[in-house]
A and B are shown apart, each in its own frame.
Chain A
Amino acid sequence: MEYSTYVADSGIVFGNVFSDDFKTDFISIDLNMPLKKETAAKMALLSAVLKRGNTRFGEMDKVEAYLEQNYGAVMDITVSKTGEMQTLGVFAKFLDDRFAIEKEPVASNIIALLSASLFEPIVENGGFRADFVEQEKQNLKDRIAAIVNDKRAYSLERCRQVMFENESYGISELGDAKDIDAITPAELYEFYTGMLEKAMVMINYVGKQTDTAALLLPVTKGFGSGARTAPETEIKNSVESVKTVTERLNVIQSKLNLGFRLGSAAQNDFFAARLFNVIYGASPISKLFLNVRERLSLCYYCSGVCDSMKNVMFVSSGVEPENAEAAKKEILNQLDMMKRGEFSDDELENARRYLVDGYMQAYDSPGALASLQKTAYLMGHMLTCEQQVEQIKKVTRERIIAVARDITLDTVYLLEGTGGNADANNIQ
């Protein structure tokens, strides 16, 4: 396995992993822009409109038939956010050429489709096709509304909105439903051409072909050239006062979410923060799982996740309404223990093994390898998987305590279930 990451003259960042080990190859093309209220909904809408088809292969059903013919290749166009950066991602997973029964060139077939999807959309009158835009506007509004279907995700999203009311991190990657109606096909097209010029572009390839310059040419040629810089994320480490918000919904289980600012120690020590996260909350060997769930039987899940780009952490748990306070108390109590250094050497070494194993498992997944390479570039450390493992091995107890001591509670968001009696909800 061989890696390379480099910036081409065009300003495009390339991340390649060459390997003979996979039966499937992976390609992703990321267009990164600052996450802003004015453009968030446009980018989300654009991702959906681009999926409607292209002039070379036709509409969605034809594209899908082409993918089926190419051994069930998967292609998708998605929108996501990392810190305060919004990404339009085009990616494909497909069978490596050597397994094609009729020796078809699957890789170049799929790259041709990716190229057409990005650079040859279906347009009319100087804009995207109006019926596609109208319908995808409705689909996007439905998708934004649909987050309430998943109560855990919904409550976490509400917690984010409360905590980052005045920061762009609070903006959803899908944008705000209120901004969608006003977007016209022509405006959306203008936004699209602007993105091809200005977005910071990163292309990742995992597979066995080494002449990637030739292979990937079709997916690079439509971008303008020039310097492209990755959007920055503003980090805030202090908290004036804890925000507490409770909302009620007609559901049975309450969802408790705590938002924390990780502080400057974590900001400057990425690897210590990762270890802190595993000892405290991210796994079934973490303090939160072992205490809030196993010891006190208060919940089925209680876990913490960190976003290193924004330098924040969220802890979430599903509890009976009357147990929310007890769960919150224990979550904070376990954090205080971390701050006092009350974690054993066993807990530390177990967490270290858990993390190292997580890195090593990435070797078997083309998607995970590409994702590690992207994060390494965006975080600026540029370390390979092995080098990151070395860093994890060096982290000391003191560095983890320093991270813990800098963490501050910012927001407590409780979605209180008022559905009460479960009997009424059982299927007869």
Chain B
Amino acid sequence: MQTIYNKILDETCFEATHDSGLTVRIVKKPSKTRKTAMLAANFGSIDCEFEYDGKKVKIPNGTAHFLEHKLFEGKNGNAFDYYAKTGAKANAYTSSDRTVYYFTCTDKFEKCLEILLSFVYNPYLTDENVEKEKGIIGQEIRMYEDDPEWQGYYGTICSLYSVHPVKNDIAGTVEDIAPITVDTLTSCYDTFYHPSNMVLTVVGDVDENKVMELCDKIVPKRPAPKIKRNVPDEPQGVVTEYFEKAMVVSRPIFNIGIKDNDVKLFGYELAKKEIEAEMLLEMLFGASTPFYKELYDSGVINAEFCSEYCASDTYAFCLLAGESDAPEKVKERAVSEIESFLKNGVDKERFVRIRNTMYGELVSSFDDVSRIGSALIKTHLFGCEPFVRAQILSEITEKDIENRARALFCPLNMTLSVIVNG
């Protein structure tokens, strides 16, 4: 077991690769009452074409999410029945690039960890329970179909990406999931739920040796499959510069998407790119900027406005989202802000402020065991050491931000999606 200490945060992470291939990351927080464990598979909605048994497989959209639902079911009952004996709060989620199962508890941590490892590593899939789940997931999908923010978000991604599977809705449609069978789920499970494609993160007042003992007891040791994902190369440019959809909304909801073509970065480079882009967005569009003040004061945007950067090793994009009767105006103003930044470069004072903010948020996040657990997963999937963000923030320069702006905005691959009332 390796010990990684970070001086800036004054935190220590224990990291080990278990015999099964599973990566384990533990941050001990003796003063905390809550404890958490998160078990993540490097398998999300973008992994829809891969090789299994020497053959190319294409699975329906929504399969990763479907499998997440099904793993909770075991031969002798649902995982929630077991968690119920502990008081723990448990759940799971699927995103574009990962599936994460987790719990938080204040008591009986080892029991909870045993439950988590047991249900994820002992799938129980039957024709009957797979069919039954289609009703529940169908209603989850219906809920998202009525959610204008989600629809606007997906409208934007579909406008940015022509072939990359990030454009597929995570849960799929009711029609997409209809053909899913036990075989579909098994092919995914065998491929992506091998421990070597997963990471376990544990945070709280825990004993690291007990964690490893439970892994010894439960995590299966089997030969690792060769995972070959087929992710098509995404061309430059956007699919469409404008997307519109009518739903029941009070006021148009807009998303401005900017596609980042500087992809295929990994490790430190990827984590650094993420911080640079996050800082850049704050410096251009945050609540202290002239951009925000002008649009807010003239009533074009309201307090709902926000910006976000989303990155993985095969895709990355920025979003500016909010409510406005004049989304085109927001887009125009954003473009002129970007152009002036490319011309004039970084404002030194603003750079220092935003770096302070990022540092403050990073330190604060180490107050919360759940946020630490999630960060440990993300840095692992990025191929980084656990405290990489602290290191990057201590080294980052104005020049880095200026270079990032050029990589991200030249050429400017931008789209506008609007959910209008109707």
Residues of chain A having any CB pair with chain B under 8 Å: 20-24, 59-62, 64-65, 67-73, 93-95, 99, 101, 135, 138-139, 142-143, 145-152, 249-253, 284-285, 293-294, 297-301, 318-320, 346, 350, 353-358, 360-361, 363-365, 417, 419, 422-423, 425-427
Please judge, given known A-B contacts A361-B104, A365-B368, A417-B146, whether A300 and B356 are in contact too, CB under 8 Å. Answer: no
Bound together, the chains give a CA A69 to CA B352 distance in angstroms of 8
Complex CA gap A410/B356 in Å reads 52
| Interchain CB contact under 8 A, A139 and B288 | no
Residue of B nearest to A135 (CB): B299
Residues of A close to B292: CB separation below 8 A: 61
B155 at the interface (CB under 8 A from A): yes
Question: Is B87 among interface residues, defined by CB-CB distance under 8 A?
Answer: yes
Interface contact A72-B146, CB-CB below 8 Å: no
B367 / chain A contacts, CB cutoff of 8 Å: 22-24, 364
A23 to chain B: closest CB distance in Å? 5
Q: Is there a chain A Cβ closer than 8 Å to B398's Cβ? A: no
B133 to chain A, nearest CB (A): 8
* Contact indicator A251/B360 (Cβ below 8 Å): no
Judge if B174 is at the interface, Cβ distance under 8 Å. Answer: yes
Say whether A253 contacts B145, CB under 8 Å. Answer: yes
Q: Chain A residues with Cβ under 8 A from B137's Cβ?
A: 300
Q: Contact between B364 and A95 (Cβ–Cβ < 8 Å)?
A: yes
Q: Is the CB of A360 within 8 A of B107?
A: yes
Pair A350/B84 contact, Cβ less than 8 Å: yes
Question: Contact between B245 and A61 (Cβ–Cβ < 8 Å)?
Answer: no
Chain B positions 132 through 157: 1 when the CB is less than 8 Å from some CB of chain A, otherwise 0:
11011101101101111101001100
Residue B209 CB within 8 A of the other chain: no
0/1 string, B313-335, CB within 8 A of A gives 1 = 00000000001000000000000
CA gap between A65 and B132 in the complex, in Å: 53
- Are B368 and A353 within 8 A (Cβ)? no
Chain B 354-398 interface residues, beta-carbon cutoff 8 Å to A? 354, 356-361, 363-364, 366-369
Q: Is B14 an interface residue (CB 8 A)?
A: no
CB < 8 Å: which of A150, A253, A360, A427 contacts B151? A427
- In the assembled complex, the CB of A219 is this many whole angstroms from the nearest CB of chain B, namely 21
Instruction: Find the B residue at minimum CB distance from A353.
Output: B87
A138–B299 CB distance below 8 A: yes
Q: CB within 8 A of A299: which of B34, B136, B360?
A: B136
Q: Which residues of A contact B78 (CB under 8 A)?
A: 294
Contact call B31/A21, Cβ cutoff below 8 A: yes
B84 touches A354 (CB 8 A): yes
Docked-complex contact B154 and A319, CB < 8 angstroms: no
Binding stretch for chain A, among B230-238, B248-256, B404-412: B248-256
A-B contact pairs, 6 of them (CB 8 A): A20-B31, A72-B357, A150-B147, A318-B143, A357-B107, A425-B145
Extra 13 A-B pairs, beta carbons < 8 Å, given A356-B107, A364-B32, A364-B367? A24-B364, A61-B289, A71-B357, A142-B251, A146-B323, A149-B148, A249-B248, A251-B146, A300-B140, A357-B86, A363-B33, A422-B173, A427-B154
With beta carbons under 8 angstroms apart, the residue of A94, A151, A293, A365 that contacts B136 is A293
The answer to whether A360 and B33 touch across the interface, beta carbons within 8 angstroms, is yes
Q: Is the CB of A253 within 8 A of B84?
A: no
Q: Is B250 a contact of A142 with CB atoms below 8 Å?
A: yes
With A69-B356, A357-B107, A422-B145 already in contact, the answer to whether A284 and B80 are too (CB < 8 A) is yes
Are B293 and A59 within 8 A (Cβ)?
yes
Q: Is B302 an interface residue (CB 8 A)?
A: yes
Contact of A135 among B86, B169, B297, B366 (CB under 8 A): B297
Q: In angstroms, how far is the closest chain B Cβ from the Cβ of A202? A: 24
Nearest CB of chain B from residue A323's CB, rounded to whole Å: 9
Residues of A contacting B360 in the complex (Cβ-Cβ under 8 angstroms): 70-73, 94-95, 99
Contact for A23 among B80, B155, B354, B364, CB less than 8 A: B364
Are B288 and A68 neighbours in the complex by a CB distance under 8 Å?
yes
Contact between chains at B245 and A427 (CB < 8 Å): yes
Known: A21-B31, A253-B142. Contact between A427 and B248, CB under 8 A? no
Q: In the bound complex, do residue A357 and residue B31 qualify as a contact, i.e. CB atoms below 8 Å apart? A: no
A135: chain B residues at CB < 8 Å are 297, 299
Collect the chain B residues with CB atoms within 8 Å of residue A20's CB: 31
Contacting residue for A68 out of B84, B88, B250, B356, CB 8 A = B356
- In contact, B80 and A297 (Cβ under 8 angstroms): no
Which one of B87, B248, B354 lies within 8 Å of A357 (CB-CB)?
B87
What is the chain A residue whose CB lies nearest that of B142?
A253
Which one of B80, B148, B169, B364 has the greatest number of beta carbons of chain A within 10 Å?
A: B364
- Whether B250 contacts A364 by the Cβ 8 Å rule is no
Report Cα–Cα, A303/B106, bound state, in Å: 24
Q: Which residues of B contact A355 (CB under 8 A)?
A: 87
Asked if B361 and A60 make an inter-chain contact with CB atoms under 8 angstroms apart, the answer reads: no
Whether A361 and B84, one on each chain, are in contact in the complex, defined by CB atoms closer than 8 angstroms, is no
When the two chains form their complex, are residues B363 and A148 in contact, meaning their CB atoms are under 8 A apart?
no
**Which residues of chain A have C-beta atoms less than 8 A from B369's C-beta?**
364
Q: A21-B31, A357-B88, A364-B368 are in contact. Are A146 and B145 (CB under 8 A)?
A: no
Question: B356: which A residues are within 8 A, CB to CB?
Answer: 68-72, 101
